Amino acid sequence: MIRQSSLTKKFIMAFAGLFLVTFLLVHLAINLFILPLTENHVVIFEKAVHFMTSNPVIKVFEIVLFGGFIIHIIYGLILQIQNWAARPKKYKKEGWSQTSFFSKFMIHTGVLIFVFLVIHLGNFYFVKSGLTEPVPGSTALANNHDFYHMAINLFNNVGYSIFYIVMILFLGFHLNHAVQSAFQTLGLNHSKYTPFIKAVGTIYSVIVTIGFIVIPVYFIIT
């Protein structure tokens, strides 16, 4: 087995994380067309989903995406365990300089996001693969690839919509520190760049969080 230093693990985790950050924007752009943004929003959504699920190039990136998730999760757990092992006794008093609010709870929000990811895959991706059954609802599905009506049935369930909102809020907290941490790991940690990177991370996390939350909120209030 190849032994890797903590720095190497952090680099791999950072690259995997930034890849996932890019994917989230694409995923959000497609998901927003669940809402009636245009007259043909359903057609746009279904065409985007068809392209993402049938294009051979995207199929390759799908494997890369799953690899990115797995690498990010595994290395995140390994690094956290190593940190705990290296510091078996908690400091009597932790200052803000030692750990920020966001960084302190990265592992906790990460675990919650993983649970949400498994549920999300069970409601969509694994249905397409025939491994799980679609969640029943008032809207009939055309087939196991009918992600639009799967989403409609899910978001029409107020309990699920609230759960989705809470999980996306945790994702937002995770992203707020994750973007900054990834660039810092890659060496972009300088008095000139750090404030800008922090701002970009905050803006990104807010946009992604609000963007995903808008969808269930629309179904709750309509």
Cβ-proximal residues to 13 (8 Å cutoff; 6+ apart), any chain: 71, 72, 75, 76, 79, 182, 185
pLDDT, position 97: 40
Nearest residue to 109 via CA among 65, 162, 81, 73? 73
pLDDT, position 52: 81
Whole-number Cα distances in Å, 93 to 61, 77, 98, 106: 45, 25, 10, 20
pLDDT, position 4: 55
| pLDDT bucket at 188, cuts 50 / 70 / 90 | low
Comparison of pLDDT for 88 and 165, the residue scoring more: 165
DSSP 44-88: HHHHHHHHHHH-HHHHHHHHHHHHHHHHHHHHHHHHHHHHHHH--
**HSE toward the beta carbon, residue 215, CA cutoff 13 A:** 27
- pLDDT tens track for 154-181: 999 999 999 999 999 999 988 887 787 7
Q: What sign does the CA torsion over 110, 113, 119, 121 have?
A: negative
Report the chain's C-alpha Rg in angstroms. Answer: 19
Query: Taking the model in full, what pTM does it have?
Result: 0.79
Q: What is the mean pLDDT of the chain?
A: 81
User: Quick check: 93 pLDDT over 50?
Assistant: no
Residue with tokens 């963007």: 211
Which H/E stretch holds residue 164? helix 158-185
Torsion of CA 6, 8, 10, 13, to 10 degrees: -130
**HSE toward the beta carbon, residue 205, CA cutoff 13 A:** 19
| pLDDT bucket at 94, cuts 50 / 70 / 90 | very low
- pLDDT tens track for 62-78: 777 777 777 777 777 77
pLDDT, position 47: 92
What does the alpha-carbon distance between residue 150 and residue 144 come to, in Å, rounded to a whole number? 9
Whole-number Cα distances in Å, 99 to 94, 96, 118, 153, 177: 7, 5, 29, 41, 11
Please report how the helices 158-185 and 106-123 are oriented relative to each other, as an axis angle in degrees rounded to 10.
130
